[in-house]
Amino acid sequence: MRVHRNAVPPLGVGETAAGYCSRIAAQNGRTARQFCLDMGTAFQRVVDGSPVALARLAEAIGDERRGFPGIALRSIGSRMFDVDGEILSRACLRRETVRVCPFCLAEDIGRHGLRWVAPAHLRLGWMIRAVRSCGKHGVALVGLDAEPSRRALHDAAASLAGARDALPRLIADARPVPESAFETHVAARLGGENRGGWLGRLPLYADIGVCEILGAVVSHGPDVELTGLDETERRAAAAVGFRHASEGLAGIRTSLAEIAQRRPATRRAVGPKGAFGRLYDWLAHETDDPAYDPLRDVIRDYAIENMPLGPQDTVFGVPVPARKVHSIRSAAIGSASHPKRLRRLLKQAGLLDSGDAASGDRVLFPVDASAAFLKRIADAMSLKEAAAYLSIPRPHDRLLMEAGLLVPVLPGGYAAGIFHAFARSDLDGFLTRLLGGAAEVTVERQSQLRDIRGAMKACNCSAVEVVTLILDRRLPTIAVNPNAAGYMSVLVDPEELRPLVRGEEVDGMTLREVQTRLSLPTSVVRGLVDGGAIASFTALNPSKRCPQTYVRNEEVSRFQESYVMLGEISARLGVGTRTAMVELERAFIRPVLDRESIGAYVFDRSAFEALASRRPTAP
C-alpha cells in the first residue's frame, strides 16, 4: 500500500521519525497505530526505531532509496536509545508529558496554513528533560493541558490536536527564559556537533547526568536532594554543572574543591563521602553504570591527592594504593610530635594547606614532609650560615646548591618568602665527602697545587665541575691545606684537572688553520665565511670553553676544488695580477663572488682550468 505524494507533509526541523509518521497518518485520516498496521508494521516498532519498520514506511511513501525521514530513536535494550550515534537513556527523556514552544507551533501553523491536517510538529529537543527552554525564541517550554492517553502516547499529531485553540493563551503566558549554555550544548550534540573535550567522551545521557548532579551539589551543598528542586533550580544547577564540566578535568576539580570547602567541620567529613555527600552516594550506591567511571576516577584521584586517606581506606570500593596526604591528626598518630608543635613546624616550612584556625583534620601536607623531615629541620641553617659553616665563598655556595651538590632540606627563595634551610648533618656529610682521603700538602708541591677557586680559574671551568670531580674521586691528587678551613682547605693539581674538564674535540678547523691551509689573509678568510662561500659552524672550544667558528676539512677541500684565487691564477700563468686580470676578462671569465665583501678576487676553477688548457705553453 502506498501513500499518495500529496498526502505526505514536509518533514519538520528536528522532527522524530515517530512524530513524522504520526503526521502522515493524520493527513490520511488515521491514527499512528492504525496507519502503521495498514502498512504492515506496528507504531511501537517505529517509536523504537526498528530499521524494518522504518523501511516499510519509506516504501509506503515512495522513499525506499533514501529511507524514512526523521530522527530515529533506535532502542538499545530496555532503557537506552541510539539517536544518530548519541546515546540517550529512558530517564533523560520526557515523553509522558508533551512540552512545546508555543511560538514554534505558531510558526508551523502560519507556514502551512490549512493545507495540512497536522501542520505543527514536535521537536526532539522538547523530549529531553534537561532542556527547559526554546533557544530560538528564548522562552520556557510549556506542557500542554491534556496529557496523551496511553493509546495516543508518542502520537504527535494526536497530542497537538487541540494545541491550535490554546495557542493564543500559551503565547500570552510564555515566560522569557534565555537558552543556557548547557541547553545549547545538548542541542549541539543532538544536531551532530560533538565538540569533544571531557564531556564529549561521555554518552549524551551521562553528559547530562554529570552536569545536573555536579551543578546541584555545587549550588546547594553536599546534602542536596534532587527531588526537592523545582524546574527553575534544576535548570540553574545544570548550567552551573556544565560550566565546570565543560572545562574538563581542571573545571571538575575546581567544583570538587568548592564542594569540599562547604563540608561540615566534623571528623566524618575528612573522606570523600562526607565531603561530597549526595554526589558520592549517587555514584557509589545509586548507579553502577560504567559510563560514569570517568567522573568516579576524577573524584577518586582528587580525594587521594587532597584528603588524608591511607591504604586502609577505599574510594568507590577501590582501596587507596598509597597515602599521598597527611593531616596533622593522622601524622600525629604515627609520630612522637605533638599536634600543636607539628602545626608550627609545617607552617614555617610552608607546607600547610589551611590556616591556623582549621582543625587538625583539615590542615594537610604531603606525606614526604613527615617525621624524617621534622627531625632534620630542627638544627637547620640558612644558605648564608651554611656557607660560613663550610667556609664556602660567594657565589660558590649558590652554584653548588643550584647544581644539587648542596641540598636544602627546606627550599626557600623570594617566591617562598623564607630562607633556604640546610640540615647540619647534610653539611657535615658534604664536607666529609669532599675531604675524604685528602693528604696534607708538602712543601715541594705547594706551588703546584691550587684551592678550588684557583683551580677553576687556571682551567677555565666552574666550581661545580671541580667539586664534582673531587667527590667522584677522579683526581689523583687531593690535598688539604692545614692553614685553611673547610671548603677552602681542599687543594688539587690544575695539570690533572685540565684534561678532565676539557670539552669535546671539534671535528673541524679553526679560521686560523683555514687561513694557513689556503694561504690567505685573515680578512679574506673571514669574508669567505661570512659570505657563505665557505660553510662554517659554531662549537665550544674544548680548551677555552667558549663559542668559536669552525670549518670542516671537506668544506675547505670543496672550496679549493670549486674556486681559484687571483694570486694562484697569476702564479700559474706566470704573469702579474694585472696581466692575469686582462687575460681573464678577454676570456670572459669574471669573479664569481663579491670582491667588496670578501676583499679578494675569486674565480670559478673549472672556467680557469679550461682557459689554462687552451693557453699555449712557453717554449
Max distance between CA atoms of the chain, in angstroms, equals 125
Instruction: Give the tens place of pLDDT for each residue, 347-387.
Output: 766 666 555 556 666 777 778 766 566 566 656 688 888 99
What rounded mean pLDDT belongs to the chain?
A: 86
**What one-character DSSP code corresponds to residue 148?**
P
Instruction: Report the pLDDT value the prediction gives residue 162, as an integer from 0 to 100.
Output: 75
- Residue 402 CA, distance from chain mean position: 28
Contact (CB, 8 A) for 563 and 608: no
The stretches of 93-230 forming alpha helices (DSSP H) are: 102-112, 156-159, 163-172, 181-190, 197-200, 204-220
Query: Which residues touch 496 (CB under 8 Å, ≥6 apart)?
Result: 475, 476, 477
Among residues 101, 71, 73, 104, the alpha carbon closest in space to that of 87 is found at: 73
Contact (CB, 8 A) for 536 and 529: yes
- How many beta carbons lie within 10 A of that of residue 464, not counting itself? 16
Q: How confident is the model at residue 336 (pLDDT cuts 50, 70, 90)?
A: very low
Instruction: Report the pLDDT value the prediction gives residue 382, as an integer from 0 to 100.
Output: 83
Question: Which residues share a beta bridge with 540?
Answer: 547
Identify the residue with better confidence: 123 or 447. 123
Instruction: Report the pLDDT value the prediction gives residue 445, as an integer from 0 to 100.
Output: 73
Q: Are strands 478-480 and 439-440 parallel, antiparallel or unpaired?
A: parallel
- Expressed in angstroms, the distance from the first to the final Cα of the chain is 115
- Separation of alpha carbons 311 and 319, rounded Å: 6
Residues of the chain above pLDDT 90, percent: 44
Among residues 366, 375, 377, the alpha carbon closest in space to that of 422 is found at: 377
- Separation of alpha carbons 115 and 105, rounded Å: 15
**What one-character DSSP code corresponds to residue 10?**
P
* DSSP states along 243-291: HHHTTHHHHHHHHHHHHHHTS-SSGGGGSHHHHHTHHHHIIIII---GG
Residue spans of the domains in the chain: they are 5-172, 181-323, 326-377, 435-501, 509-614
- pLDDT surpasses 70 at 5: yes
Q: How confident is the model at residue 266 (pLDDT cuts 50, 70, 90)?
A: low
Instruction: Give the tens place of pLDDT for each residue, 139-165.
Output: 999 988 666 566 667 888 888 887 888
Instruction: Give the tens place of pLDDT for each residue, 181-229.
Output: 999 999 999 988 887 889 999 999 999 999 999 999 999 999 999 889 9
Q: In what order do the strands lie in the sheet with 490-492?
A: 439-440, 478-480, 490-492, 450-451
- Separation of alpha carbons 5 and 60, rounded Å: 10
pTM of this prediction exceeds 0.75: no
Instruction: Report the pLDDT value the prediction gives residue 288, as an integer from 0 to 100.
Output: 93
Q: How confident is the model at residue 619 (pLDDT cuts 50, 70, 90)?
A: very low
Compute, in degrees rounded to 10, the torsion defined by CA atoms 263, 269, 271, 274: -70
3-state helix, strand, coil in the chain (%, to 5): 50, 10, 40
- pLDDT surpasses 90 at 342: no
Identify the residue with better confidence: 111 or 439. 111
